[in-house]
Amino acid sequence: MLDINYIRQNPEEVVAMLRNRQLSVEEPKLHQLMAFDKKRKQLVQRSDEQKALRNKVSKEIADIKKSGKGSSEELIIQMKSVSEEITRMDTALSQLEEEIENILLALPNKLHPSVPVGRRAADNQIFGEPVTFAHSLDFSVKNHLELGKSLGILDFERGAKVSGAGFPAYIGKGARLERALINFMLDTHSECHGYTEVFPPFLVNQESLRGTGQWPKFADQVYHIGEDDLYAIPTAEVPVTNLHRGEMLETASLPISYAAYSACFRREAGSYGKDTRGFLRVHQFNKVEMVKFTRPETSYAALEEIRSHAEAILVALKIPYRVLLLCSGDISANATKCYDIEVWSPAEQKYLEASSCSNFEDYQARRSNIRFKPDSKSKPEFVHTLNGSGLATSRLMVSLLEHYQTTEGNIRVPEALQRYTGFEEI
């Protein structure tokens, strides 16, 4: 969340950020926050004064009793009244601080100056040039659903029978290909890009969702197991970032880089529309996530590094793609700057998002209380956290199947995956 001191000192910047994000200043209750903060200051000052008075008079009462001269009865009665007032103020202060925190939790992150101002996805900027590879598709291409069904490697119907729409089943060589993708990406990130592999829990508590910003703002998007009060993760970002929740990290250990595979579960509430076929929108999918913890001064260099690592996977697989720099109206509430990487679908004739790479600066670290000391004499500071999909397999699989199809309706396996699959064609 944002630092309350930053909001106090830069109210105009916060208002401009909200407007650039296409949010009403009233929606996150910014004015109410400032009023609460002012009232909190007054309460703290009054409470501190009364506590100082109580301490002073309590010493006087003790001195009177010790000397045996005079009566302290009137002072005791006065201090009882003062103590009752302090209790009332502390209760009011606790309630006020809870209200302030609730508003802070709902406020989005500030935006990096390089983020273009825009209203919607159409205002995102293409970053660099789209990357293409020579694939011989001079015939009528099938979409991934047709290919998956004809080859018996994807079964959306039986997946829906077992769980419901949006829960695909991979069969035979399809399952092997999916596993090959995951293993290839994990190996590349750990062996070539310097990430430490993590296999995290797929269920988390509410505090973990709160720490990375999915709670309470995106509570309607996560699956909840009521009896145990646990949540199915929407991304490995949640458990991996929270590994260090509440910790003081060793400065020498920074940056910390993790790569993690997980299944991801998203309700996708309110997102139903035309792009719901097959892998275009699912409730369960697989993803390899990259997560970094860095010193503040190196976080934007780390963002470019994460983006390049995600791109390296697509280059190795020879999947055509482009990179977008998201505008202020399309970027997620938690991110200060974000790149989306989209793969090309020959059948759909459009780009499909396969990765998002984001810098959150200290937004998540402040919520999760993840800090470090720049040196032994310094005060603790919050680290910067970043993550990037490296990559999500669902839409990557769409592009892979469609680009590597043959005139006979088979699928050639990308050379980079063949040592993982054990076969060259499906």
Among this protein's residues, is 266 annotated catalytic? Answer: yes
Tell me how far apart the alpha carbons of residues 353 and 413 are, in angstroms, rounded to a whole number. 22
Among this protein's residues, is 120 annotated catalytic? Answer: no
Among this protein's residues, is 356 annotated catalytic? Answer: yes
Q: Which two tokens stand for residue 120?
A: 């919607």
Provide the H-helix boundaries in 264-362. Answer: 299-317
159 with 284: CB under 8 angstroms?
A: no
CA distances from 58 to 49, 55, 370 (A): 14, 5, 40
Q: Which of 266, 307, 366, 371 is catalytic?
A: 266
Q: Which of 281, 307, 367, 371 is catalytic?
A: 281
CA distances from 297 to 196, 275, 301, 303, 326 (A): 22, 40, 9, 12, 22
Q: Which of 21, 210, 367, 395 is catalytic?
A: 395
Taking the alpha carbons at both ends of the chain, their separation in whole angstroms is: 48
283 with 267: CB under 8 angstroms?
A: yes
Place of tokens 């309630």: 95
∠ Cα 400 389 21 (to 5°)? 115
Backbone angles phi, psi at 297, to 5 degrees: -75, -10
Q: Which of 257, 356, 368, 399 is catalytic?
A: 356
Among this protein's residues, is 389 annotated catalytic? Answer: no
Q: Mind telling me the catalytic residues?
A: 266, 281, 353, 356, 395
